[in-house]
Amino acid sequence: MKLEWMGENREIVRSLMRYANLYAHNQIGRFSSGEGAALSMLEWQTLECILEFEGENYNMATLAEKLGIPASNFSKYVKTLVEKGLVERYKRADNRKEIILLPSEAGWELYRKNSALIAREWQPAFALLAQMTPADRERILEFLEELSRGIDLGDRRRSFLKRV
């Protein structure tokens, strides 16, 4: 039976679901290149987010939102990164309740040692994107953002389907 509601988008939806399912299955384990600490995919994303926004003084809730994960999960990943010496926690001088995260030198070193390997993993997909116009890439980004809104529990425009 064909699933009619997807129309001509069926193969795109199938590929997205396959990617999401593979990611969900694999994100639990920890991985290492042999260079430094072994991290799960979400711990690595958390470290990259902290590195990317270093100096912005974003609190943990804002960084969690940028990754699209619950603050409680983000906090758990940060705890692991702190224990491994990759991230340091600081309290804001003007608001002692807010925690600011900064990468340690060990965090930067782990990133430098492993980012080329991750870039190599992504290179075939990036090569496909490079064949597109900037406008095409913008449309893909809009599509992914719209798709994310449908499952983002914090977005008021989210799906009419409710969690039960």
3-state secondary structure 54-110: CCCCCEHHHHHHHHCCCHHHHHHHHHHHHHCCCEEEEECCCCCCCEEEEECHHHHHH
pLDDT digits (tens, 9 = 90+) for 90-127: 988 888 788 899 999 999 999 998 988 889 999 999 99
Residue 6's pLDDT band (boundaries 50, 70, 90)? confident
Q: What is the mean pLDDT of residues 115-143?
A: 94
pLDDT at 101: 95
- Is residue 145 a part of any domain in this protein? no
Q: How far apart are CA 34 and CA 106, in angstroms?
A: 15
- Is residue 13 a part of any domain in this protein? yes
- Is residue 142 a part of any domain in this protein? no
Structural domain including 23 reads 4-116
Q: How many domains does the chain have?
A: 1
Q: pTM for the whole thing?
A: 0.80
Q: How far apart are CA 91 and CA 106, in angstroms?
A: 20
pLDDT digits (tens, 9 = 90+) for 45-85: 999 999 999 999 899 999 999 998 899 999 999 999 999 99
Which CATH number characterizes residue 71's domain?
1.10.10.10
The answer to whether residue 158 scores a pLDDT higher than 60 is no
CA distances from 31 to 36, 59, 88, 100 (A): 10, 27, 22, 26
